[in-house]
C-alpha cells in the first residue's frame, strides 16, 4: 500500500521468518513518522527545521538487525509496566507477584521480554480522514509475572501538519496493573547531528518531582518541590545549565532521570516543551498521564552504534516518557495503576512540532 500519505514496505525479518514492515504516516511539509510493529516503535520521525529542511530526530537504527540485536528501547512502546517496580514484586488483593529483577534489584520496563521485544499485530492502516496505524498485542496471563490476559490496542495518527498522536487502550480478564509509554530518544538537531542536547531548552509543567534512592526508586514521603533546585523547569531552561551541579539527586541519576508530577487535571494537557536554538525545531508534549519521566540520556555510553553508524554518547538525546509514577503498585499514596475486568486503561499523548 503506497499513497501520498501512507507507505508500507518490508523492513526486516524475525528469526522465525515473519516479515517486519515499516509503515510511513505523512503529514505536511515533509513531516513523516515511520513505525515498525516490532516493539510498536517509532523508527524515525522526520521534522522540518526553520529552513524547511527535514531531518530524522529520534535515535535508533537504520536496519532491523539493530533493533533485534540490542535492547535500547529506541522509540519503543514499553509495558506492561513502564519504569521501575521496587524489589521486582508487588501485592494485589493480598496475592504477591514476583517479577524479574532486570535493573539491579528492581523490575524495569516490563521485564526481559516486555512489549518492546514483541512483534505487534497490524490491525489497520488507513489514510482517511487522517493517516493512521492500528496495532494490537495480547499479553497472556503470567507474562513476565503479571496477572491477567491483557489485550492492548495502540493507534498512531497524524493529527496535524506536524503532529503525531499516540493512543493506547488495554483491557484485562483479571485484576492487574498497567502502565504504558513510548520511549523515544529525541534530539531536535537530528539523530545524526552528533551534538548533545545540553544546549536545548526544556520546559516541564510540574511543581514537584519524585526524588529517588540509589536504585532509582522513589523515596518514601510526598513528592519534592522543584523550587530552588536544579529540577525546576517551569520556565524554559537550558538542559545543561545545571546538570553538573553537585546535588545528590543529580549524582544518583548521573543527570536527570526523574518522574515529574503533572497536574491532577483530567484529560490531555500541556506537559513539556523542548526548543533547539540551532535547528529552530520545537516539540511540545501533551498527555493525559499523571507523570512524565525526564531522562537526559545519561547511560548512552558510546557502545551502541545507531543511525549512520554514529556512536551514541551521554546526552546525545533526551526522553520525555509520559506514564504513571514509578513503583505505584507498592505506593498507595501514588495515583493507582490498577486495572479490573470491565475497565479500560487509556493513554493519549500528542507530539506537536513547530519552529522558532
C-alpha distances out from residue 252 to 63, 141, 215, 235, 258, Å: 34, 35, 8, 24, 10
Cell triple for residue 105? Answer: 534489584
Annotated catalytic residue: which of 109, 163, 321, 347? 321
End-to-end Cα separation, the chain, in angstroms: 35
Helix (H, G, I), strand (E, B) or coil at 125: strand
Provide the 10 A C-beta neighbour count for residue 29: 14
Helix residue ranges per DSSP H, the chain = 64-69, 248-253
- 229: which residues sit within 8 A by CB, 6+ positions away? 247, 249
Instruction: Give the three cell numbers for residue 157.
Output: 495518527
The CA distances from residue 110 to 106, 206, 306, in Å, are: 11, 26, 24
Tell me whether residue 309 is one of the annotated catalytic residues. Answer: no
Count of helices and strands (H, E) across the chain: 2, 29
Neighbours of 176 (CB within 10 A): 25
Q: What residues contact residue 98 under an 8 Å CB cut-off, 6+ apart? A: 88, 89, 145
Radius of gyration of the chain (CA): 19
Which position among 183, 258, 323, 347 bears the catalytic label? 183
Helix (H, G, I), strand (E, B) or coil at 314: coil
Determine the Cα–Cα distance for residues 122 and 334; give it in Å rounded to an integer.
34
> How far is residue 313's CA from residue 295's CA, in Å, rounded to a whole number?
14
Instruction: Say if CB 169 and CB 335 are below 8 A apart.
Output: no
User: Exposure pattern of 2-13 as b/e (b: 16+ CB <10 Å)?
Assistant: eeebbbeeebbe
Q: Is 241 a catalytic residue?
A: no
Residues with catalytic roles: 183, 321
Amino acid at each position: 500500500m503506497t499513497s501520498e500519505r501512507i507507505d508500507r514496505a518490508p523492513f526486516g525479518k524475525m528469526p522465525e521468518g515473519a516479515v517486519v514492515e515499516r509503515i510511513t504516516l505523512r503529514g505536511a511539509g515533509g513531516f513523516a513518522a515511520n513505525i515498525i510493529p516490532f516493539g510498536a516503535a517509532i523508527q524515525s520521525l522526520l521534522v522540518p527545521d526553520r529552513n524547511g529542511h527535514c531531518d530524522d530526530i529520534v535515535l535508533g537504527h537504520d536496519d532491523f538487525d539493530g533493533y533485534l540485536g540490542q535492547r535500547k528501547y529506541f522509540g519503543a512502546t514499553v509495558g506492561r509496566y513502564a519504569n521501575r517496580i521496587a524489589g521486582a514484586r508487588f501485592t494485589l488483593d493480598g496475592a504477591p507477584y514476583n517479577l524479574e529483577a532486570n535493573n539491579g534489584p528492581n523490575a524495569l520496563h516490563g521485564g526481559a521480554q516486555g512489549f518492546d521485544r514483541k512483534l505487534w499485530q497490524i490491525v489497520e492502516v488507513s489514510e482517511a480522514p487522517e493517516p493512521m496505524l492500528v496495532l494490537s498485542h495480547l499479553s497472556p496471563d503470567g507474562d513476565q509475572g503479571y496477572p491477567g490476559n491483557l489485550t492492548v490496542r495502540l493507534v498512531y495518527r497524524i493529527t496535524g501538519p506536524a503532529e503525531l498522536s499516540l493512543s493506547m487502550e488495554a483491557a484485562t480478564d483479571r485484576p492487574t496493573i498497567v502502565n504504558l509509554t513510548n520511549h523515544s530518544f529525541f534530539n531536535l538537531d537530528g539523530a545524526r547531528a552528533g551534538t548533545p542536547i545540553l544546549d536545548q531548552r526544556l520546559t516541564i509543567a510540574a511543581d514537584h518531582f519524585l526524588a529517588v534512592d540509589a536504585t532509582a526508586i522513589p523515596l518514601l514521603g510526598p513528592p519534592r518541590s522543584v523550587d530552588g533546585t536544579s529540577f525546576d523547569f517551569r520556565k524554559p531552561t537550558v538542559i545543561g545549565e545545571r546538570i553538573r551541579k553537585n546535588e545528590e539527586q543529580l549524582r544518583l541519576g548521573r543527570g536527570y532521570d526523574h518522574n515529574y508530577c503533572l497536574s491532577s487535571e483530567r484529560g490531555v494537557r500541556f506537559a513539556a516543551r523542548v526548543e533547539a536554538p540551532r535547528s529552530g525545531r520545537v516539540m511540545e508534549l501533551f498527555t493525559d498521564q499523571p507523570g512524565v519521566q525526564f531522562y537526559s540520556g545519561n547511560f548512552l555510553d558510546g557502545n551502541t552504534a545507531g543511525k549512520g553508524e554514529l556512536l551514541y554518547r551521554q546526552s546525545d538525546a533526551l526522553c520525555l516518557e509520559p506514564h504513571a509514577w514509578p513503583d505505584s503498585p507498592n505506593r498507595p499514596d501514588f495515583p493507582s495503576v490498577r486495572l479490573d475486568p470491565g475497565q479500560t486503561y487509556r493513554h493519549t499523548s500528542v507530539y506537536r512540532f513547530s519552529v522558532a
